[in-house]
């Protein structure tokens, strides 16, 4: 038997749905045999009459390069007696009705740069990783630690002056210092699987095992991830296991009939996106997708997936007509179980807009097994509230508070993603009502409320400095805005906010525990003021948060507090250094005895217009020495030496 020939055990596992390293069987691989290097090719095409291999090595004439069908279920194999490294190739598939299709390899590790569509024989071995410290760090519990995710589209974050794209290696030098300086802990990248159409943003893929060649080679992408890890930044990929594009060279009707997609047209056709839905009940498709997840973890050291469009997966197309899809639900559980078995620290995040229960409950307890779920309800509610005219907000007060009715039912990420700032929806800054300065004030307030609200944090690129225009996917971010003072100050505020978040245990240690949150005053809709407490695991770790969603400042505003202590304002979004009007609390606030807001004590404070104020109980000198890391930074734009927030 030839070296590299599929074994009976591999074939059995693949058809059973449990070949979690299917990429080692299928695709193109260099194999040493008899002292020489051969290249083997393997594809699953169950309905094909014949399969041949065409490529640059035979001038695209597949005559004499017939693959052998090795089982009734349609696995085809050929080994050619030469090293085909770097060669272009496709499979010439003869369908049951006699048509000839030229298809890219579903398991290819590399592909031509679009608009060309051939697969490339390429070894992904040999990269030497330099990220040992990160591998130790990532084993910490993410749930009780801060998480601030910077979502980006690789092709439009920054573009060269001549209009060309930055490579994976070049982008490492550009974005990693930028993200690290601003305090983000993860970079989340819109899909990087090979895709033919730039404006699909990667969500309509053809090469699930190939990082897109737009930005370089597989080893170049490994370098990018490695550099992120060396800088203490994790990498999350947007991953699309629900549907794929219908381009002629891709997975769609691979051998002339449904292979990766549902056979029933009503289930197959995704009319919203013009794509085809994966048949998640088919065991071979399960092997394909689960091994794909394993592949990105093993070979690219990816730290997590944002799993796209889970709502489209768990329900049949057409919504309520057929209801839930039991095959897809079973697949998601199987996927998450397999991923966790291979790497318990890998993060699986569901982009799910439904009220499906127990998305982040472990599979053994009846859940889907995700680590996190995007809190789409919170995002939609809070943006609807912020976009409303201030005089109408009193009637929409519940939009701000309703999320706390379910905030601890799942483990949530609070997302301000690309979907909220594209296709005419306007940027986050432009969504804010009012004049120029008011827009910035409200955006600072919005970010402050997100940081103070239970849940991990996600912000799409450009939001950190107040991109005024919505995302333009053909152009880079408006970097020229850094020439303007308000955008500089917005960027400074975002930095300070994230560093404050990471230093404040009360804002993350009990993210998923209702004991970590307590309302002070949830009912002041007339003034549109919210106040609440965030708590850490230690009794002394708590913060008082006061948010004012109107353009009115208040002096001597009473706020109930739980302990008879002095309180110091440690963050205020209305500081002049951030572009605000300077309604702050410079002096220590002393509490008074008196029952207020359900608490035995109260303080009187200044409440900034369109602002958030965060107070911390003053620690005794011994406590300050032990917790010096909680002091505020002062090196923000416009700050005086030694000035504290």
521 touches 546 (CB < 8 A) = no
Spatial CA neighbour of 202 closest among 151, 253, 248, 237: 237
Would you call the peptide bond into 115 cis, given omega within 30 degrees of 0 as the criterion? yes
Give the pair of three-digit tokens for residue 201: 């943003």
Which residue, chain included where needed, has tokens 């697949």? 331
DSSP bridge pairs for 52? 66, 92
List the beta strands (DSSP E) in 490-573: 517-521, 529-535, 542-548, 554-561, 566-572
Which residue, chain included where needed, has tokens 């997975």? 251
Please state, in angstroms and rounded to a whole number, the distance separating the CA atoms of residues 250 and 209: 13
105, 284, 351, 496: the catalytic one is: 351
What are the residues whose beta carbons fall under 8 Å from the beta carbon of 140, sequence distance 6 or more?
Answer: none
351 labelled catalytic? yes
Query: What would you report as the CA-atom Rg of the chain, rounded to the nearest whole angstrom?
Result: 27
3-state secondary structure at position 134:
helix
* 601 membership: H or E segment, kind and range: strand 599-607
What are the residues whose beta carbons fall under 8 Å from the beta carbon of 557, sequence distance 6 or more?
Answer: 529, 546, 604, 605, 606, 607
261, 279, 308, 371: the catalytic one is: 308
DSSP bridge pairs for 585? none
Give the pair of three-digit tokens for residue 522: 């949830």
* 493 membership: H or E segment, kind and range: helix 485-503
Distances (CA, A) of 519 to 152, 196, 523, 534, 561: 34, 50, 10, 9, 11
For 91, list phi and psi in degrees, rounded to 5: -95, 130
For 432, list phi and psi in degrees, rounded to 5: -70, 130
Spatial CA neighbour of 411 closest among 485, 513, 563: 513
Q: Give the residue numbers annotated as catalytic, written as ranges.
A: 308, 351
């Amino acid at each position: 038997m030839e070296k590299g020939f599929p074994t009976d055990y591999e074939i059995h596992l693949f058809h059973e749905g449990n070949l979690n390293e299917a990429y080692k069987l299928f695709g193109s691989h260099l194999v040493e045999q008899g002292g020489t290097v051969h290249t083997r090719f393997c594809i699953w095409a169950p309905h094909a009459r014949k399969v041949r291999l065409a490529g640059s090595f035979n001038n695209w004439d597949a005559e004499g390069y017939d693959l052998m069908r090795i089982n009734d279920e349609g696995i085809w194999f050929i080994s050619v007696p030469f090293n085909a490294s770097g060669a272009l190739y496709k499979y010439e598939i003869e369908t049951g009705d006699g048509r000839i299709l030229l298809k890219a390899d579903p398991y290819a590790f590399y592909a031509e740069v679009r608009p060309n569509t051939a697969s490339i024989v390429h070894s992904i071995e040999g990269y030497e990783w330099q990220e040992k410290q990160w591998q130790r760090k990532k084993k910490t519990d993410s749930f009780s630690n801060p998480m601030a995710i910077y979502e980006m589209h690789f092709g439009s974050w920054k573009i060269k002056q001549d209009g060309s794209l930055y490579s994976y290696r070049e982008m490492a030098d550009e974005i990693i210092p930028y993200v690290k300086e601003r305090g983000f802990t993860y970079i989340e990248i819109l899909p990087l699987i090979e895709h033919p159409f730039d404006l699909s943003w990667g969500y309509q893929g053809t090469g699930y095992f190939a990082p897109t060649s737009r930005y370089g080679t597989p080893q170049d992408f490994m370098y990018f991830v490695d550099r992120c890890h060396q800088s203490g930044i994790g990498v999350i990929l947007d991953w699309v296991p629900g549907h794929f594009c219908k381009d002629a060279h891709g997975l769609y009707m691979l051998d002339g009939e449904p292979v990766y997609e549902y056979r029933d047209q009503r289930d197959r056709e995704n009319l919203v996106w013009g794509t085809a839905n994966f048949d998640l009940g088919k065991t071979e498709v399960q092997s394909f997708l689960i091994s794909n997840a394993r592949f990105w973890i093993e070979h690219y050291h990816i730290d997590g997936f944002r799993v796209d469009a889970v709502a489209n997966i768990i329900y049949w197309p057409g919504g309520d007509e057929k209801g839930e899809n039991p095959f897809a639900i079973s697949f998601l559980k199987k996927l998450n179980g397999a991923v966790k078995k291979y790497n318990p620290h890998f993060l699986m995040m569901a982009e799910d807009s439904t009220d499906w229960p127990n998305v982040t409950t472990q599979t053994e307890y009846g859940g889907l097994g995700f680590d996190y779920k995007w809190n789409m309800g919170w995002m939609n509610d809070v943006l609807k509230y912020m976009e409303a005219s201030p005089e109408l907000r009193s009637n929409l007060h519940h939009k701000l508070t309703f999320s706390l009715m379910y905030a601890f039912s799942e483990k949530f990420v609070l997302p301000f993603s690309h979907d909220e700032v594209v296709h005419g929806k306007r940027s986050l800054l432009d969504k804010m009502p009012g004049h120029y300065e008011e827009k910035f004030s409200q955006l600072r307030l919005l970010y402050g409320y997100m940081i103070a609200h239970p849940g991990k944090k996600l912000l799409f690129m450009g939001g950190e400095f107040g991109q005024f225009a919505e995302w333009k996917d053909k152009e880079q971010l408006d970097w020229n805005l850094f020439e303007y003072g308000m955008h500089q100050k917005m960027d400074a505020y975002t930095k300070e906010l994230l560093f404050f978040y990471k230093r404040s245990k009360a804002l993350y240690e009990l993210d998923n525990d209702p004991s970590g949150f307590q309302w002070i005053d949830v009912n002041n809709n007339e003034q549109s003021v919210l106040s609440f407490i965030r708590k850490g695991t230690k009794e002394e770790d708590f913060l008082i948060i006061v948010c004012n969603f109107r353009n009115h400042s208040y002096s001597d505003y009473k706020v109930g507090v739980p302990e008879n202590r002095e309180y110091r304002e440690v963050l205020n979004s209305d500081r002049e250094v951030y572009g605000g009007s300077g309604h702050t609390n410079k002096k220590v606030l002393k509490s008074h005895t008196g029952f207020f807001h359900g608490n035995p004590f109260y303080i009187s404070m200044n409440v900034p217009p369109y602002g958030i104020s965060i107070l911390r109980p003053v620690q005794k000198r011994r406590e300050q020495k032990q917790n010096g890391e909680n002091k505020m930074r002062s090196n923000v734009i416009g700050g005086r030496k030694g000035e504290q927030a």
